Amino acid sequence: MPSGPPDPGRAARRAVAPLMSACVVLVVAINLSIPKLSASGLHPSATGLLWIVDSYVLVFGCLLIPARAAGAVGNIAGGAVLEWLPWRR
């Protein structure tokens, strides 16, 4: 067990991990429901199914961009820029 100073970003990473996991689970659920969706009363075309899956992937991907960008800025600036974020206090 490391005996160094506590890592202030650890709590933030632990808070983001469930969000990322939920996004992956929802995208997988949409991919697994494609056969049921095709057989439903909506009768989407192949293009329609592609739009449905792509829109889910795009939305959940955009939810992850702020977390990634915040981490990149923190790595570049050494965390000083991100001190105003609530989870950094």
**pLDDT tens per residue across span 2-60:** 566 666 667 766 777 787 788 788 878 888 888 898 888 888 899 998 898 888 888 87
Indicate whether 27 belongs to any domain.
yes
SS (H, E, C) 19-64: HHHHHHHHHHHHHHCHHHHHHCCCCCCHHHHHHHHHHHHHHHHHHH
State the total domains in the chain: 1
32 domain residue, yes or no: yes
Whether residue 4 lies inside any domain: the answer is no
Structural domain of 49: 20-88
CB 77 within 8 A of CB 69: no
**Residues 85, 89: Cα–Cα separation, whole Å:** 7
Any domain includes 15: no
49 touches 34 (CB < 8 A):
yes
The answer to whether residue 60 sits within a structural domain is yes
Does any domain span residue 82? yes
pTM: 0.52
On whether residue 13 sits in a domain, the answer given is no
Residue 6 in domain: no
Mean of the per-residue pLDDT values of the chain: 75
